[in-house]
A and B are shown apart, each in its own frame.
Chain A
Amino acid sequence: MEDDLKTERKGQLLAVKDLPTLPAVLDEVSKLVARPESTTEQVARLISMDQVLSAKVLKMVNSPIYGFPGRISSVSHALMLLGFNVIRGIIVSTSVFEVMTKNMVGLWEHSVATALASSTVARACGLRDPDEYSVAGLLHDLGKVVATVQLPELKTAIESLVKEKDLTYLAAEKELLGFGHDRINAWLATHWKLPPNIKEGMDHHHSPQTAQLYPEMAAVVHLADFLARLYEFGSGGDDNVPFVQPEAFKILKIKPKDLEAICDTLGERFVEVSDLKFS
């Protein structure tokens, strides 16, 4: 792909001003924050289910203005540092998607499923701070959301191509955009100064075997994405499971069979969140 066009598209993507979210989500969070007896934990839990609000909160707390960029990788820590005033400000200034499609809702559900799967896999592998894996899982498709907002015609074209030629979403992105949402994630994470482990979970989840700094993070999100698609909890834009990298198991020191126990837990967690309203 022409470097110029790529640079232009990168600029357009990074210029995103106001990421909107789903009306149902914003509604619930707004109500919670308006109630004086709401606790930080409750607000954190709800925000952690929404990729856009989580991204906004993490972007703000990691902004150089606060003085510690790249250090905060959990929504609850972000809330402890931003405070109710700032959080309310973010929520009040967040808009909603004017045109809501089934695909959007599907994408939101898929991001929550991947978040749950990520923390489940992380815990099963004995990794520290499973909540951070959850965040990376939640944000692993954020690039798709930003592309929807900043390059809407291309987004529509990608969806059509997926249908017509039965391509994976990633393959269609590469054909029409010249790069995939994992690359968009890398740009966003760098631009927003997200912690490096979250960044690697976001931009290496399709190829964890190439992750340099945080291979466990990439491997966890990789497997989580696979599991979310296997259960078809929501939709990542196509109904395929991705190729499962054997490396991912080596990195995490588990065997494929270990996924069964993980799925036992995951199945229950999926039931628990099945009444989350996204539409």
Chain B
Amino acid sequence: MEQTLSGCVFSRPQRIMLLTPDAGLRDMLFSLWGTGEVEWTHYEHGRGAIEHLFTEPPDLLIVDNDLPDIKGLEVASIVKSENVYRQLPIILAASEAAVAESSWCGVEVDDLLITPSNPTRVKALIFLTLARASRSFDANPLTRLPGNSSIIQRIQEMMDRKEDFALAYADLDFFKSFNDKYGFSRGDEVLMMTARVIVTTIRSFTGVKSFVGHIGGDDYVFILPPDVVEAACQRVVASFDSIVPHFYDEEDRVRGSIVSTDREGAIKTFPLMAISIAVVFNEGGRLSHYGQASQIATALKKKAKEDKKSCYVLDSRGRNAAREDQA
């Protein structure tokens, strides 16, 4: 398996903590990658490692079931029982005999390394476990789309590589009033539907680099090449507008609005939800930090929200500036 960690999935060296008294295992693992790819921390005992684990959690923990002072499984369960470390992937290294004897009820490790093993298998196992963890680590619990950290990381990567791309921020107008009337459960349904509409539309542009993320609540992000992003926005708007009325009760759907009374007894009317999209362009390496992009997007979003209906606003100044730079 010739994949290097960097350039394939990861943009920085992965930190792996190894808890084992087995020198052979340690040596084999250390030989799998160069220091630029993996930074190893090694302990021969469990207890001393635990504090280090908590203060500086690694990207992956490999723990030998056969530690002298505490069972590997117990270390795993101590770690996993704390919500802040639940996402930390743990591989248990154990002999086949030990595995056969163990009860797996309630065991919280993410994968198993049966020793003795060979470098090819072990390398693949570690690589895939790290990759899987990076996919799910900040996945939005509702839509399973990548969350804020992954989004920022992706944007920054593309800026660092000076790739041309369009970055779209989408959110829903009048989502709060919908939630207030219909409850969070139905609100969640709308969020799932919106995620699907965005994902299917973006995926329909085949053969191009794309990305969809869910920042949280009703905020989504997608990335597409600059020349197709407008078509994508049009499709997202059209699909959303035609589907969202079906999440309202008949009366509201027919009227085209929600009517509610606030605490003071005043009657307030809210239109059906609409989707607003702000699109920022990064062409010719114009932007260098994701913060710049989100600043531009915030300004564009204000404009988009002036229209109560679904709409998208393109950062035209950005496009023209890029074109002028190249002229």
Residues on A facing B (Cβ under 8 Å): 36, 40, 66-68, 71-73, 77, 80-85, 128
Chain B residues, Cβ within 8 Å of A40: 204
* B163 on the A face (CB < 8 A): no
Selected contact of A81 from candidates B191, B200, B206, B254, CB within 8 Å: B200
Chain B residues, Cβ within 8 Å of A77: 242-243, 246
**Contacts A67-B142, A73-B246, A128-B254 given: A80-B200 contact, CB under 8 Å?**
yes
B193 touching A81 by the CB < 8 A rule?
A: yes
Separation of A67 and B195 alpha carbons in the complex (Å): 10
Nearest Cβ in chain A — how far from B309, in angstroms? 19
Separation of A85 and B206 alpha carbons in the complex (Å): 11
A68 touching B189 by the CB < 8 A rule?
A: yes
Contacts A67-B188, A85-B203 known; 14 new A-B pairs at CB < 8 A: A67-B143, A67-B189, A67-B191, A67-B193, A68-B190, A71-B193, A71-B247, A73-B246, A77-B243, A80-B239, A80-B243, A81-B243, A82-B196, A83-B203
Chain A residues, Cβ within 8 Å of B239: 80
A82 touching B192 by the CB < 8 A rule?
A: no
Selected contact of B196 from candidates A81, A84, A85, CB within 8 Å: A81
A67 touching B199 by the CB < 8 A rule?
A: no
Separation of A85 and B188 alpha carbons in the complex (Å): 24
Chain B residues, Cβ within 8 Å of A80: 197, 200-201, 239, 242-243
Separation of A51 and B264 alpha carbons in the complex (Å): 52
Nearest 10 interchain pairs by C-beta: A67-B192, A83-B200, A68-B189, A80-B239, A81-B196, A77-B243, A68-B193, A71-B246, A68-B192, A83-B203
Nearest Cβ in chain A — how far from B25, in angstroms? 40
Separation of A36 and B205 alpha carbons in the complex (Å): 11
Separation of A71 and B244 alpha carbons in the complex (Å): 10
Separation of A73 and B142 alpha carbons in the complex (Å): 23
Chain B residues, Cβ within 8 Å of A67: 142-143, 188-189, 191-193, 195-196
Chain B residues, Cβ within 8 Å of A128: 254
A81 touching B197 by the CB < 8 A rule?
A: yes
Separation of A85 and B200 alpha carbons in the complex (Å): 9
Selected contact of B247 from candidates A68, A81, A84, A85, CB within 8 Å: A68
Nearest Cβ in chain A — how far from B128, in angstroms? 23
Separation of A176 and B195 alpha carbons in the complex (Å): 47
Binary CB contact string for chain B from 131 to 146 against chain A (1 if under 8 A, 0 otherwise): 0000000000011000
Selected contact of A66 from candidates B196, B206, B247, CB within 8 Å: B196
Nearest Cβ in chain A — how far from B278, in angstroms? 22
Chain B residues, Cβ within 8 Å of A66: 192, 196
Separation of A71 and B243 alpha carbons in the complex (Å): 9
Interface residues of B in 178-199 (CB under 8 A from A): 188-193, 195-197, 199
Interface residues of B in 242-270 (CB under 8 A from A): 242-243, 246-247, 254
Determine chain A's interface SS by DSSP, over half rule: helix
Residue on A with the closest CB to B238? A80
Could you list 19 A-B pairs, sorted by A, with CB under 8 Å? Answer: A66-B192, A66-B196, A67-B142, A67-B143, A67-B192, A67-B195, A68-B190, A68-B192, A71-B193, A71-B247, A72-B243, A80-B197, A80-B242, A81-B243, A82-B196, A82-B200, A83-B200, A84-B203, A84-B204
Nearest Cβ in chain A — how far from B310, in angstroms? 14
Residue on B with the closest CB to A82? B200
Selected contact of A83 from candidates B190, B199, B246, CB within 8 Å: B199
Separation of A80 and B197 alpha carbons in the complex (Å): 6
Nearest Cβ in chain B — how far from A135, in angstroms? 13
Nearest Cβ in chain B — how far from A217, in angstroms? 12
Residue on A with the closest CB to B239? A80
A83 touching B204 by the CB < 8 A rule?
A: yes
Separation of A80 and B247 alpha carbons in the complex (Å): 15
Chain B residues, Cβ within 8 Å of A81: 193, 196-197, 200, 243
B199 touching A72 by the CB < 8 A rule?
A: no
Separation of A161 and B188 alpha carbons in the complex (Å): 50
Nearest Cβ in chain A — how far from B220, in angstroms? 14
Chain B residues, Cβ within 8 Å of A36: 206
Residue on A with the closest CB to B196? A81
Nearest Cβ in chain B — how far from A247, in angstroms? 21
Separation of A147 and B38 alpha carbons in the complex (Å): 60
Residue on B with the closest CB to A85? B203
Chain A residues, Cβ within 8 Å of B200: 80-84
Residue on A with the closest CB to B243? A77
Chain A residues, Cβ within 8 Å of B199: 83
Chain A residues, Cβ within 8 Å of B193: 67-68, 71, 81
Binary CB contact string for chain B from 198 to 227 against chain A (1 if under 8 A, 0 otherwise): 011101101000000000000000000000
Separation of A105 and B222 alpha carbons in the complex (Å): 45
Give the residue among A36, A71, A72 with the most B Cβ atoms within 10 A: A71
Separation of A83 and B200 alpha carbons in the complex (Å): 5
Give the residue among B192, B201, B246, B247 with the most A Cβ atoms within 10 A: B246
Separation of A81 and B189 alpha carbons in the complex (Å): 13
Chain A residues, Cβ within 8 Å of B203: 83-85
Nearest Cβ in chain B — how far from A66, in angstroms? 7
B197 touching A71 by the CB < 8 A rule?
A: no
Separation of A240 and B197 alpha carbons in the complex (Å): 44
Residue on B with the closest CB to A84? B204
**Contacts A83-B203, A85-B203, A128-B254 given: A72-B196 contact, CB under 8 Å?**
no
Chain A residues, Cβ within 8 Å of B201: 80
Chain B residues, Cβ within 8 Å of A72: 243, 246
Interface residues of B in 14-61 (CB under 8 A from A): none
